[in-house]
Amino acid sequence: MALKAVVKADFDEGNRRAAAGDWQGAIAVFDRCLAQNPQDWQALANRANARQQLGDNARALDDYMAASALNPASANIKSNLAVLLKELGELQLAGQLLEEALAAEPAHVDAWSNLGVVRQHQLRYHDAIACFLKAIELGGVTAARCNNLGNVCTSALLLDDAISVLQGGLALAPQDANLQFSLSIALLLAGRYAEAWPLYEARWRSILAPRHEGARWDGRALGKRTLLLWAEQGLGDSLQMARFLPRIRAEHPDARLLLACPQTFHRLFAQFDGIELLPPDAAPAYDCQLPLMSLPGVLGVTLETLPTAGYLQPVEGGQSTLAGNGKLKVGVVWESGRWGVGIADAWRQHKSVPPALFAEICRVPGIDFVALQPGELPAELQGLVTQASIDDFADTAALLEQMDLVVCVDTAILHLAGAMGKPTWALLRAESAPFFLADAAVAPWYPSVRLWRQAAPGDWLPVVRELAEALSAQQTF
C-alpha cells in the first residue's frame, strides 16, 4: 500500500476511535500519522481534540497552536482552540478567536454555539441567547443546542423560556441526562419541586459519579435494616440536607442510620441522636443507600411542606467566647469555596465579593466584624475584621452563635447560619441559585436569611453599598 494510503487509513482510524470515545487510542493513531507527516495540520488538530478530552490541556494547546500555524485560516481550528481557551479561563481570547472564525465563515454552526458558551461565562446572557438561536437557525434543533439555550435562559432567570426550551429538547431525546438535569435546575428555581426532584437524579448520568452503589432507599419503612446516607457535593449541601436527619431517625426507630460526610462536620453533627458518623470515603456494609441531595425527592418535599425550623446548635468544645465591648458583632464571609482553576473556578469567583469592595461593609462604624471563614485575611480587610481560629464547623457554629448578625456570600456559612436560625444577610448573584428561587426576598429554606440580590450579573457595587447603608441604620437585627 502506498504511503499516502497508509496515512489516510491511519487518519480515518484515529477519527473512528475518537468518535467511539477511545481518546488514548485516537492519540496513538494520530501520533503515527504525524510521524509520517509532521505537517499534517488535521492530525494535529484532531490529536489536540483528543488530548483536551482527556484533560491534557497543555499538550492540547501545543497541538492547536502548531495546527493553527500550519493553517491559520481554519475556522475549525479557531473554534476548537477557543473551547480550550475557555476552559483555561481565557474568555476574551476565546471570544476574539470565535469572532474571527465567524467573520471568515458566518455559517459555522459550532463556532456560534461555542461563542454562546463564552458569552454565557462572560455573563452576557442575552448575547449568548442570540448565539445559540443562530446555531439552531443554521444547524437545526438538537438536544445539545436546546440544552445550551435552556441553560442560558435559566442563568438569565427567563425561567418560562428555559423550561419550554428544555422540555422541547426532551421531546427529541427523552433520556438525555444533560437536558433532564438542566430542566431540574430551572424547575427548582421556579419552585416546582415535585416536577424537579425526579429529573434532578439525572446528575448521576451527567455531571457526577456516585460514590456508593447498591439498592437505593426509596423512602419505605426500613425496619431493622441499615441505611447509608452520604455527602455528595459541596459543604453547604450537607448542612442543608442535615435538617432531614431527625425526621428519618424518628420515622425509622429500629433502623441503623449511617452518615458518611467530611470530618469537618463530625463534632457538629454529633448532636443528631442515633446517627453514626463515618468519614466520606468509608465503605461500610449496608442494606440500602442514598446521597444526601436525593432526600427531598424521596421524602416528597415541596415548598409547602419544607421544614424550616432551626435544627443545629453549637456544641461543647467549640470556639472560645469572644470578648464583649458593647458593640454589635457581625460575622462576615466574602468568598465562596475554591473549586479548581480556569473556568472551573469561575462560578466561585462570581459568587464571591472582592475584598476591596467588601471592605465598604466592614467600615460601618460601631460594629465589630468577625471573619467566619478560615484562612489569612486579605490585605484589604486587615484592621477592619477580627480573625478567629477555626478548625471545623463546630468552631464556626460556636463563633456564629455569638454574632448579632451574619453578612455572607452564598457559601456553606449561609447554610449553617440558616440552620441555626441566626439573622443573616446573604449577598446573592443576579442568577440566584437553585434553592433560593428567582426573586424571593427571604431564603425559602431558611426564614432567618434575607437575600440581597445583584440587580445585574457581576455588579456587586450597588448591592454592597445598599447593604452597608442598611447596616449603618440598624441597632438590632
pLDDT at residue 336 tops 70: yes
Confidence of residue 53 (pLDDT cuts 50, 70, 90): very high
Examine residue 214 and state whether it is found in any structural domain, yes or no. Answer: no
* Residue 262 placed within a domain: yes
Q: What phi and psi values does residue 51 have, to the nearest 5 degrees? A: -65, -40
In a domain, 125, yes or no: yes
pLDDT tens for residues 128-170? 999 999 999 999 999 999 999 999 999 999 999 999 999 999 9
Q: How do residues 246-297 score in pLDDT, each as one tens digit?
A: 999 999 999 999 999 999 999 999 999 999 999 999 999 999 999 999 999 9
Answer yes or no: do 7 and 141 share one domain: yes
Kindly state the average pLDDT of the residues 178-188.
98
Q: DSSP letter at 202?
A: G
- 338 φ, ψ (degrees, to nearest 5): -90, 140
Is residue 213, in this structure, part of any structural domain at all? no
Number of domains in the chain: 3
Q: What percent of the chain has pLDDT above 90?
A: 89
Find the mean pLDDT for residues 404-425.
97
On whether both 196 and 242 belong to a single domain, the answer is no
pLDDT of residue 343: 80
Pair 246, 386 in one domain:
no
Angle at 346 between CA 341 and CA 347, to 5 degrees: 130
- pLDDT at 1 (0 to 100): 41
pLDDT tops 70 at residue 319? no
CA distances from 169 to 25, 108, 204, 310, 378 (A): 32, 22, 19, 40, 45
Instruction: Give the C-alpha separation, 67 to 88, whole Å.
Output: 19
Residue 339: what pLDDT? 62
Verify that 458 and 342 share a domain, yes or no. Answer: yes
pLDDT band per the 50, 70, 90 thresholds, residue 6: low
Query: Is the pLDDT at 2 greater than 90, yes or no?
Result: no
Phi, psi of 178 (to 5 degrees): -65, -45
Placement of cell 438590632 in the chain: 476
Bridge partners, residue 370, by sequence: 331, 386
Q: Compute the mean pLDDT over every residue in the chain, rounded to the nearest whole number.
A: 94
Residue 229, C-alpha cell as written in the block: 446516607
Q: Which residue has the higher pLDDT, 13 or 339?
A: 13
Structural domain of residue 249, as residue ranges? 226-298
pLDDT value of position 280: 95
Task: Tell me: do 234 and 200 sit in the same domain.
Answer: no
